[in-house]
Structure 1
Amino acid sequence: MFAASEVVQCGIQVDVIVYNSALTACGRASEWQRALELLRSVDAGGLLPTVVTFGAAISATERAAKWPEALLLLEDLGRRGLQPNVILCSSAVSACEKAAEWQQALGLLVEMQALEVQANIITCNSAISACGASSEWRQSLHLLEELDAMSMQADIISFNAAISACESAGAWDAGLAVLQSLSSRDLQMDLITWNTAISACEKAGKWPEALQLLAGLGESSYEPDEITYNAAISACEKAAEWKLALQLLLEVQHGPLRPSVVTFSAAISACEKAGMWRQVLVLLSSLANEGLQPSLITMNAAISACEKAAEWRKAVLLLSQLRAAKQVPDIITYSALVSACEKASRWQHAVVLLTEFSATGGQPNLITYSSAICACEHAAEWRQAFVLMAAAANSSIELDAITYGHAISACEHAGQPEPTLHLLGAFDGILAESLDPTLLLGLENPRY
């Protein structure tokens, strides 16, 4: 980029207007550091920067979310006796919004009042979004309500920002209440509004409302996009409404949109929650036919579906596919695999998988060890159960009463009284630690 400072080096006289143009170009190219260098060159050249000069510099910092630099520039402008305008202040608020600095954004709104600079809807929308980015949804709603007091008409962007703030913070009911208040205003919902509302329903577990909104979107002038369908399918997934999830996936496949890995993952997870492992495998095949690569989350959901049905061979086969895709299985993967083997009474495979995970640098947790010990219980393999308990202790994992119960049962099935008594002694200590002390106090003075 041919900067004004380079023009000066060529011996050509430049004025502040040239610098303003160069600063604007830096901002558009996200070269905020170069913009600040140019601003310093204005002073070094004996020129007087104007409000436009500072505006271009603040805009450059705003694009890069450099809010401290934006605020410093505003202070510098004031020290020079220049009066900031709403455009400069809005850019500074937007810089705070991009960095999720909601307190700084609200502070600027207060400072604007002190400077008698009238905020506009762009300024306020940035402040609402800044609060939302920090999960300060109550502040977002407060600002939305304050727009009326400021004699300012909220637009659809204002409502989108407020609904998004509620959705991000998990205040789904509040977000849906804001959505309902739109009906009393002469505002047209856009695609962002529809998507944010459907996402709020999804996170609130309100799948019927999510599907109603999807139907309403179909009757509007907007077409649902991938984000819309992903949120709707995910809403069905959380309620294990696998048939509805598959129906929505078919709509995507037969329409102008192309399903993504996220779309398939949500549908697979819906089937997994409902124990429909065969449907899961069909979906994995469809995903591959679309030329998509399943993510680790997708594969974990598929393995978990097989685990619920004790389909341990299918689960291990999926592990091979996961590795073939050069993905690294994690604790969720191996916990599901060990549990699948445990449900199928395949204790040897469970132990091999747990050992394999440890050998690759993984750290089995209580759930993994408990599943493997439970597998040993089914086969009365008390010695192997003891080995696993020792391995857990070496990994600083404190086994719970349930796990001890599996080991004790393994000893009993094998007719081993001495190990059983040994474990019972340790079990009594764990059981006492897990009891509420107030219950023990109540036992001292029993009532008849």
Structure 2
Amino acid sequence: MMLLRGCPETCITSYGSPLESSSFKRKRFRVPFYYHQLNFLWGKERICRNPLTVDRSVVLSMMAKSGRWNGSNLLEMSGISYLPFSKRRDNLLSFSSFKVGLVYEKEASMSTWSQKNQFISNNHEDIQPPFVTPVVPQELIIEPRSGPSSANSEMKHHLSEVKLHYLEERDEETLSKRILSLSRSNKGRSALELYTSMEVCGLQPNAHACNSLLSCLLRNGSLNDALRVFEMIRKKEITTGHTYSLMLKAVASIQGCDSALEMFDALEEEGISKKKFDAIVYNTMISVCGKAKKWVEAERMWRKLRQNAFRGTKITYDLLISIFVQCGQTELAVDAYHEMIQNGLEPNEDIMKAIIASCTKEGNWALALNIFQKMLNGGIKPNIITFNSMINCLAKAGKGDLAFSIYDMMKSLGHTPDTYTWSALLCALYRSNRYADALQLFEGIKTEQHSQLNAQIYNSALISCQRLGLWERSLQLLWQMERSGMQMSTVSYNHAIGACEVAREPHVALQVYQHMVHRECVPDTFTYLSLIRTCVWGSLWTEVEEILELKYL
């Protein structure tokens, strides 16, 4: 409720005019609003003060100039509305939700003021005009972009339905602070009404207030209203990079990644030319593409970022590396890491871990070791996953000594080796052609860490037996796997048959093959090739023919 003390009476006294019909006489109109309201209605010309006397010919000429006079009707005031206020009490006027929408519709049909609607006061009592719903000018009603509507459509406010308020305060900074306060308090409708009232009055809120209003509308699910307000402030060029980021993120969340990409492509040229876009806008789009697993679009945004001479931030490269690693694009992840280092940005622990994992897949052990050393120098304690990735990367490169050095460091930092650690170490020994050491390590694991044995560790031992031709040891490992209830695979039997081939034991190889078929394990091409080579060496031609018949059935 707004209280106004000492509200002066305001009168309009009209005199005859050649433009009037003969029915118009000199009348006094008691008008219950301030002089500056008339300033808003009829321009900034100062006509009179309290009491206000206006020559009707002046009013008519002003309206004719403004295009609101059609030669037959007197006034068009379809946009004026306010609630009744109480009579004077102790020189105090109390206005209840005083709202004046000083807006005109040029296309509306004009209506002549009848005697009952005129503000005539013969007994000094205020007679109120009829209540009229405020109207928002058509140019402020902007259609939203095409696309699915929000799930919370019933909570939306429409710009064409909000009420307009008479703004006694005309300072734009003060009104911007009010919008900011209302938006932070999550009073979306009140903030939207105040913003629309400012637009009607020709006042412009600052960018901070507009961004806060957009954020409030989006929190309340009013995407369409947020899009309307966004279009209005975009035309007035009071947008910032945060404005674009806010809207793109909201559109992606509600309408999907494709809609956000379409909106970005439509706005990019304007944002670049007017210097409204920044790296944060591109970060927003990279994040949107990452959530949708669209690494191609993320790479395109990265390329556009460089083409437009923007320098990526730490968040830019964090997002890119994370997206590329998750989508299996290890080369792009490594490229993004190198560009990050060239720009003088220090990667965080998560990025270093991701790059080490990528190097493991690519076999780039030198880069992985360099990043690992950087982590240690920076005081970062790698977790067991990082240690396993590092050991695995070195193992695939055949760097057994370095792999065991990392293993020793892992134990010194208090980490307990797990199944992945043992598999990586066995792989390191095998790739270093240290087959006997691999079998010795396997025996130690079986004795001390029996619970961590799995099929992969057994297969690592079996392939070492195959290289050494230890067919008896291979058969022992094979029977141990079957007794432990492990899921037997063709690979395990192939390793045992391969050990028999190296040891020139064709009959044993055939027995393993028959046992394999009996357990309903399907042979593959490697199984048949190993059997044929073994039987040819042992001159078992009949068996060779049977195997070939089975192979090509």
Q: Report the TM range for the smaller structure's normalisation.
A: 0.5 to 0.7
CA drift of 1:399 comes to 0.7
| CA distance in 2 between partners of 1:289 and 1:162 (Å) | 43
| CA distance in 1 between partners of 2:269 and 2:447 (Å) | 60
Write out per-residue CA displacement over residues 165-213 of structure 1, whole angstroms, 9 at most, x where no aligned residue: 6567776554333123223568664433222333456543427624522
Task: State TM-score, norm by structure 2.
Answer: 0.50
**Contact 1:176–1:200 (8 Å) recurs in 2:** no
Distance 1:167 1:123, change over 3 A: closer
CA drift of 1:234 comes to 3.0
CA drift of 1:77 comes to 4.8
**Contact 1:155–1:187 (8 Å) recurs in 2:** yes
| Residue type at the aligned position of 1:204 | Q
Task: State TM-score, norm by structure 1.
Answer: 0.61
Write out per-residue CA displacement over residues 226-263 of structure 1, whole angstroms, 9 at most, x where no aligned residue: 11212232333333222232122111112232222232
Asked whether 1:407 is paired with 2:528, we answer no
| Residue type at the aligned position of 1:426 | I
- Larger of the two Rg values belongs to structure: 2
| CA distance in 2 between partners of 1:398 and 1:89 (Å) | 63
| CA distance in 1 between partners of 2:511 and 2:386 (Å) | 43
Distance 1:260 1:173, change over 3 A: same
Q: Which residue of 2 aligns with 1:299?
A: 422
Which range moves more in the overlay, 245-254 or 324-333? 324-333
For 1:159, which of 279, 282, 290 is the aligned residue?
A: 282
Q: Where in structure 2 are the equivalents of 1:192-341 lying within 5 Å?
A: 192-199=315-322, 203-206=328-331, 209-216=335-342, 219-220=344-345, 223-319=346-442, 320-321=444-445, 324=448, 328-341=452-465
Asked whether 1:427 is paired with 2:553, we answer no
CA drift of 1:317 comes to 4.6
Q: Where in structure 2 are the equivalents of 1:27-426 lying within 5 Å?
A: 71=151, 74=152, 77=155, 90-91=218-219, 112=224, 121-122=245-246, 124-125=248-249, 128=252, 141-142=261-262, 144-146=264-266, 148=268, 159-164=282-287, 172=295, 174-183=297-306, 189-199=312-322, 203-206=328-331, 209-216=335-342, 219-220=344-345, 223-319=346-442, 320-321=444-445, 324=448, 328-413=452-537, 415=538, 417=540, 420-426=541-547
CA drift of 1:287 comes to 1.3
| CA distance in 2 between partners of 1:75 and 1:117 (Å) | 17
| CA distance in 1 between partners of 2:415 and 2:259 (Å) | 41
Distance 1:129 1:396, change over 3 A: farther
| CA distance in 2 between partners of 1:397 and 1:226 (Å) | 45
**Contact 2:252–2:258 (8 Å) recurs in 1:** no
More helix by share: 1
| CA distance in 2 between partners of 1:147 and 1:302 (Å) | 54
Distance 1:387 1:163, change over 3 A: farther
Distance 1:138 1:258, change over 3 A: farther
The root-mean-square deviation of aligned C-alpha atoms, in Å, is 4.1
Mark the runs of 5 or more structure 2 residues left unpaired by the alignment. 1-149, 163-187, 193-213, 232-242
SS at match of 1:362: coil
Distance 1:307 1:195, change over 3 A: same
Distance 1:210 1:385, change over 3 A: farther
| CA distance in 1 between partners of 2:324 and 2:154 (Å) | 46
Aligned length: 334
CA drift of 1:143 comes to 5.2
CA drift of 1:330 comes to 3.4
| CA distance in 1 between partners of 2:420 and 2:288 (Å) | 26
Q: Which residue of 1 aligns with 2:56?
A: none
SS at match of 2:521: coil
The sequence identity of aligned pairs, in percent, is 21
SS at match of 1:351: helix
**Contact 2:439–2:464 (8 Å) recurs in 1:** no
CA drift of 1:378 comes to 0.9
CA drift of 1:137 comes to 6.9
Distance 1:360 1:140, change over 3 A: farther
CA drift of 1:150 comes to 10
Distance 1:92 1:270, change over 3 A: farther
SS at match of 2:425: helix
Distance 1:295 1:88, change over 3 A: farther
Distance 1:290 1:367, change over 3 A: same
| Residue type at the aligned position of 1:334 | Y
**Contact 2:482–2:488 (8 Å) recurs in 1:** yes
CA drift of 1:374 comes to 0.9
**Contact 1:308–1:340 (8 Å) recurs in 2:** no
Mark the runs of 5 or more structure 1 residues left unpaired by the alignment. 1-69, 94-107, 434-448
| Residue type at the aligned position of 1:280 | A
| CA distance in 2 between partners of 1:146 and 1:253 (Å) | 46
